[in-house]
Each structure stands twice: as C-alpha cells, then as structure tokens.
Amino acid sequence: MVKKIVKRGFASDNNSGVHPEILKAIESANAGHVVGYGSDPYTEKAGELFQEHFGRETETFFVFTGTAANVLGLSGVTRSWNSIITAFTAHIEQDECGAPEKFTGCKVLTVETPDGKIKPEMLTKHMHGIDFEHHSQPKVVSITQTTEMGTVYTSEEIKALADFVHDRGMLLHMDGARIANAAVSLKLPFKAFTTVAGVDILSFGGTKNGMMYGEAVCFLKPGISKDFKYIRKQGMQLASKMRFISAQYIAYFSNELWRKNARHSNSMALLLAEKIKDLKEIKITQAVQSNGVFAIMRKEVAEKVSKTYFFYPWNEYTSEYRLMTSWDTAEEDIDNFVALLKKELGI
C-alpha cells in the first residue's frame, strides 16, 4: 500500500484532495446502470444547476481538465484562421503545451500586463489586418478569472472588455479555473460577472476547489456553438461514466460547497499575506484578492522552506514565488509555514 500523506503545502490548489461531500456524492451516484456518455439523470440535473447560476440559455458540456475546457471551448467558436488574444501570463499561453494551437489551429496572440488583467487599450496592437486574408482574424479575447496572479477582474472591467470585443464582432472567453474564488472575492453571484457582464464562453473549474476531476465548458449565449458535441468527442473528452462528474457538480452547487471552499482558501491567503507582508526581505508583489500570494524572497530561503512546505518559483529572474492556499489549508499550516520562514530568515 501507498503510505498515507497528510502534509499540506502551498504549491497548488490542485495538490489538495477531494472534499468529503464530493466523495459522498460520487458514492451516492454509484448504483445500478445509467446510460453512458451523459444521457443520464445526474448530468441532466447538473446542467440545470449551471442554468440556475449562469442563465437559462447556458449550454454546459463536461470535460476532464481545465486545459480541455479552454481548448475545446475556444475551438467551438473559432476556425483555424482566427486568432485568440490573451495575457502573456495566461494558462492557455504558458501552461497548455501548445494545445490551443494544435487543436484549434489558431494563432494565440498575447499582451503584456502588470497583474494578469487585460485592459481594452492593450488589445489595440492586435486589431489590424481585418478582412485581410494574409492575417489571422481576431475572434476571441480570453481572460482568466481569477488571474494567474491571483488578481480579480471587477464586473465593470469585464463588461468593458466584452463591449470592446462585441463591437468588433468578436467574443469574450473566460478561463474560470478559479471562478469560485473570484465570486467570493467580488461578493457577487456567478452570473453578475459572466453572463450579465458579457462573457460568451466560460471554462468553469471545480477541481482546484475540492472536486476530483471534471471541468465544464459553458456557452452562455444561445446558438454560439452548434455541433459542440462532436468537438468534445473528437477532442477525446467525452466521459463514458459521466454521472461521476455530474454528481460532483450537483454536490458542488448544493449547500454552497463551492462558496464555502473558496471563501476558506481566500481567507487563508489573506491570513498568510498578513503574516508575511512585513517580514524583512519579503515583498508581496500582487494584490491578494483570491487564494494566491505572490512574494519576492531570497532564493536560498525559499528553497529551504519549500522542502517542508512545497511551493513553486513564479519568476526566477525576479526571485518571485507563488504560494497557493486551498480549500483544506489549515491555520496551523500557515502558522507552521510562517514559523519556518522566520527561522530561515533569521528572525
């Protein structure tokens, strides 16, 4: 047997396990036969819950990973001669091994941002060559909420981007791998900063917030992606025993588990930031608006501490590190981490 592991670090919210209520829902769905591939009552119910949260016209398709949700969602609204514009720090640019290009055939264009957040004026540099066959045609702007730096777009900021893209016949995609953390941070229902603000396609993530696996592609406008069922299947993302993804989402939306988990991880990040922000040599580099803390610290210190509490460097050139909290981070984890950090800092 594999020895049980109880250590919790700050490497990533997906290093955490699964919330017990999610596991219970999986068990509960495990009875008898249901039709495979999503024609089951669990999936029907889960789809309805997405409509409650995002609007009655929402079409939801489950896939396995966040990368798949992004890539297939974008594939559903583009042709290969389009371009997709995103932040240089975006997951689709840095962390998907070129899956967007390989699968959609599109060009991915980037803009530089200080905090992971795109502003309309940053997009201008890519708004040329329209109708010119030599040039990839801009079709989608993709934002991440919360961003890869833990910052959060306000619904006004999202609306401004939506207006910019819609004015140009384009669409707005949101990578919501940590959308629950954003909702908690903004103190808003999901719909307010997505459907209502003008988002067209959403990758809804649950795995980083206590689920086991299974993300969702949500088309928030009607008719936006005909034939997506073929894209999902050809994209190798159609689950045979889909009920076990759907059951997780039913539990996730019930009793506000999503909110409970995200509220906890956000508050842990704030606590962590509070406790380290004034330490000598430590410099927090991004506003702590969700469940990540970005901080500059000396490399030797970081490496020593991360042997016990694992976390990743974010930018080796600036000696910046990323500390992620998660739904199961305990206050004592933070206390222990801070104590060790202080020791290494010689405080």
> Least distance in Å: CB of 298 to a second copy?
20
Stretch that binds a second copy, among 66-74, 162-170, 185-193, 336-344 (CB under 8 A): 66-74
Choose between 66 and 116: whose C-beta lies nearer to a second copy. Answer: 66
- Residue 97 region, left (φ>0) first, then alpha (ψ -120 to 50), else beta? left
CB-based contact 230:202 (threshold 8 Å): no
* Token pair recorded at residue 180: 């629950």
Footprint (CB under 8 A) of a second copy, residues 88-127: 93-99, 101-103, 105-108, 110, 124
Binding a second copy (rule: CB under 8 A), the pick from 151, 155, 181, 237 is 237
Residue corresponding to tokens 């006004």 = 156
Binder of a second copy out of 8, 117, 178, 263 (CB under 8 A): 8
Figure out which of the listed residues 190, 193, 204, 244 binds a second copy, where binding follows CB under 8 A: 244
Strands (E), 41-153: 59-63, 82-87, 107-111, 137-144
Applying the rule CB under 8 A, the residues between 128 and 167 that interact with a second copy are 128-129, 133-137
Binding positions for a second copy, 213-232, rule CB under 8 A: 213, 227, 229-232
Q: Does 290 bind a second copy (CB under 8 A)?
A: no
Of 143 and 239, the one with the shorter C-beta distance to a second copy is 239
Q: Which residues from 16-55 bind a second copy, rule CB under 8 A?
A: 16-18, 23, 26-37, 41-42, 45
We find the least distance from the C-beta atom of residue 192 to a second copy, in angstroms, to be 28
- For a second copy, give the closer residue by CB, 231 or 297: 231
**Least distance from C-beta 204 to a second copy, angstroms?**
15
- Asked if 239 interacts with a second copy (CB under 8 A), we say yes
b (16+ CB within 10 A) / e for 278-304: ebeebebbbebbbbbbbbbbeeebbee
Residue 307 in contact with a second copy, rule: CB under 8 A: no
Q: What residues does 315 pair with on adjacent strands?
A: 320
In the chain, the amino acid numbered 240 is S
CA distance 205 to 213: 9
Query: How buried is 212 (Cβ within 10 angstroms: 0-12 exposed, 13-18 middle, 19+ buried)?
Result: middle
Q: x/- string (CB under 8 A) for a second copy, residues 69-88?
A: --xx------xxxxx-----
Q: Give the residue with the Cβ less far from a second copy, 23 or 345.
A: 23
293 with 272: CB under 8 angstroms?
yes
7 binds a second copy (CB under 8 A): yes
d(CA 297, CA 281): 6
Helix axes 243-253, 257-276, angle to 10 degrees: 70
Count of residues near a second copy by CB under 8 A: 94
Instruction: Please tell me whether residue 169 binds a second copy under the rule CB under 8 A.
Output: no
- Compute the least distance from the CB of residue 303 to a second copy, in Å: 16
Structure token pair of residue 7: 């250590």
